[in-house]
């Protein structure tokens, strides 16, 4: 791994009275204000439609605020999105990989390095080393030469995480990287991101609707429901009153072996008790 991903700017994200509206009038984010320190592992959580993807896309300059501002490592997302995109390795919620193109796993992982190079894009020995190391981190090294479309949903998610791990830049932004992954794949994704964060100090921003598999490893949690419902250490967010307010009156917190778990309509303790 090349150097540590330390940055001089003290804050990873600074959002100030940020509101984002879609052209159909939908106000997806309203008056969002929060700051997170750099070198963090941040989870962005909230129910479906709470604005998580909208926030990520706004940080990348793909959507523009209708009022307020958001900065990423000091760069304004409205004006300086090119600088931000150079810093970020992004795994979108829905990837547009063509499954009818005979791409191999290695081609997908190498994309994490090659897409930031200027053409002609050839993989150097160093690129291959980084891609192999990234695939090893998600425990799929043996699939290096496998056709990507033949993988299971969970294996594909792990390969997409490896593509981000193979790249460079101080921020990884992953939008629901565990969707469609079974318990085993979820654990491998969380462990790989945790290990990588600890080794490299890279900032990790991970969107998830389920805090349970990751609350032990993340440093900060932002809970969204169109606006900021809570921000802080995972223990502060795992609060009965807060989760009832966000997920409804049937949501609650249970404590097991010294860890808190959040039970909502769409998460069960069976899946996450490890």
Ligand X SMILES: Nc1ncnc2c1ncn2[C@@H]1O[C@H](COP(=O)(O)OP(=O)(O)OP(=O)(O)O)[C@@H](O)[C@H]1O
By CB under 5 A, name the binding residues for Mg ion. Answer: 52-53, 93
Q: Min. distance of Cβ 257 from ligand X in angstroms?
A: 29
Give which of ligand X, Mg ion, none residue 184 binds (C-beta under 5 to 8 Å, depending on kind).
none
The phi, psi pair for 258, rounded to 5°, reads 80, 0
We find the least distance from the C-beta atom of residue 100 to Mg ion, in angstroms, to be 26
Per rule CB under 6 A, is residue 209 in the interface with ligand X? Answer: yes
Per CB under 6 A, the list member of 52, 71, 89, 197 interacting with ligand X is 52
- Given the complex with ligand X, which of 50 and 203 has the nearer CB atom? 50
* Number of residues located near ligand X, criterion CB under 6 A: 14
Strands 220-225 and 171-175, sheet pairing: unpaired
Distance of closest approach, residue 51 Cβ to Mg ion, in angstroms: 8
| Least distance (Å) between residue 142 CB and ligand X | 32
Instruction: Return the DSSP state at 104.
Output: B
Smallest distance from ligand X to CB 211, Å: 13
Measure Cα distances from 225 to 44, 135, 231 in Å.
11, 34, 12
228 binds ligand X (CB under 6 A): no
| Shortest separation between residue 174's beta carbon and Mg ion, angstroms | 11
> Does 89 help bind ligand X (rule: CB under 6 A)?
no
Residue 271, H or E segment:
helix 269-272
Q: Can you tell me which of 12, 18, 45, 51 binds ligand X, judged by CB under 6 A?
A: 51
Nearest approach in angstroms of CB 207 to ligand X is 7
Contact pick of 6, 10, 22, 121 for ligand X (by CB under 6 A): 22
117-150 per-residue burial string, b: 16 or more CB within 10 A, e: under 16: eeeeeebeeebbebbbebbebbbbeebeeeebee
- The backbone torsions φ and ψ at residue 35, rounded to the nearest 5 degrees and listed phi first, read -135, 140
For 154-190, give the DSSP string.
HHHHHHHHHHHHHS-SSEEEEESTTTT--HHHHHHHH
Helix (H) or strand (E) holding 44: strand 41-45
Calpha distance 11→270 (Å, rounded): 36
DSSP 118: P
The span from the CA of 168 to the CA of 273, in Å, is 33
Choose the binding region for ligand X from 20-28, 64-72, 76-84, 98-106 (rule: CB under 6 A).
20-28
Nearer to Mg ion, 39 or 53 (CB): 53
Q: Which of residues 125-184 bind ligand X (CB under 6 A)?
A: none
Judged by beta carbon, residue 8 or residue 48, the one nearer ligand X is: 48
Residues binding ligand X (CB under 6 A)? 22, 24, 26, 28, 46, 48-54, 93, 209
């Amino acid at each position: 791994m090349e150097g540590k991903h330390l940055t001089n700017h003290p804050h990873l994200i600074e959002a100030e009275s940020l509101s984002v509206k879609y052209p159909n009038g939908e106000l997806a984010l309203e008056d969002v204000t929060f700051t997170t320190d750099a070198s963090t592992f941040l989870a962005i959580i909230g129910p479906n439609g709470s604005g998580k993807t909208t926030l990520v896309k706004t940080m990348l300059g793909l959507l523009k605020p209708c009022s307020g501002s958001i900065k990423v490592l000091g760069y304004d997302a409205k004006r300086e999105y090119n600088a931000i995109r150079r810093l970020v390795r992004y795994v979108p919620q829905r990837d547009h990989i063509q499954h009818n193109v005979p791409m191999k796993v290695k081609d997908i992982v190498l994309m994490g390095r090659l897409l930031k190079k200027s053409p002609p894009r050839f993989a150097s020995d160093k690129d291959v080393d980084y891609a192999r190391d990234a695939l090893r981190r998600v425990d799929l090294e043996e699939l290096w030469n496998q056709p990507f479309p033949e993988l299971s949903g969970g294996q594909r998610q792990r390969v997409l995480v490896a593509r981000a791990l193979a790249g460079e830049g101080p921020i990884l932004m992953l939008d629901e990287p565990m969707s469609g992954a079974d318990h085993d794949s979820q654990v491998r994704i969380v462990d790989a991101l945790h290990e990588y964060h600890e080794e490299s100090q890279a900032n990790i921003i991970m969107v998830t609707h389920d805090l349970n598999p990751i609350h032990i490893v993340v440093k900060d949690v932002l809970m969204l429901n169109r606006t900021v419902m809570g921000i802080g250490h995972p223990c502060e967010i795992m609060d009965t009153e807060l989760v009832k307010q966000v997920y409804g009156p049937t949501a609650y917190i249970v404590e097991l072996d010294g860890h808190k778990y959040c039970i909502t309509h769409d998460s069960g303790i069976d899946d996450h008790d490890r």
